[in-house]
Amino acid sequence: MKTNNRWILVKVVRGIPASIEFFTEEQKAILAESDWREKMNPDYDESRIFQADLEEVEEKETCYLESVY
């Protein structure tokens, strides 16, 4: 089943947003975050997965993102 959901993976390195990746499948976002976390310094770096509904974005031309993991 195709959905309008997209998962956005954000990596912050020492307080600076360093990378953003978009996924159509939740599991791929989870795996990518796991790969990132293996190489990150847990004392200074962070990553989060956010979910966005494309229909909501199109209707409002904006979207509030809330961390899902």
Give the model's pLDDT for residue 55: 77
φ, ψ for residue 19, nearest 5 deg = -155, 140
Query: In whole angstroms, what is the distance from residue 7 CA to residue 26 CA?
Result: 6
Helix (H) or strand (E) holding 68: none
Give the model's pLDDT for residue 53: 83
Give the model's pLDDT for residue 63: 65
DSSP annotation of 65: -
Residues with Cβ within 8 Å of 5's Cβ and at least 6 positions away in sequence, in order, are: 26, 51, 52, 53, 54
Query: In whole angstroms, what is the distance from residue 3 CA to residue 56 CA?
Result: 12
Which residues of the chain are modeled with pLDDT < 50?
A: none
Give the model's pLDDT for residue 54: 80
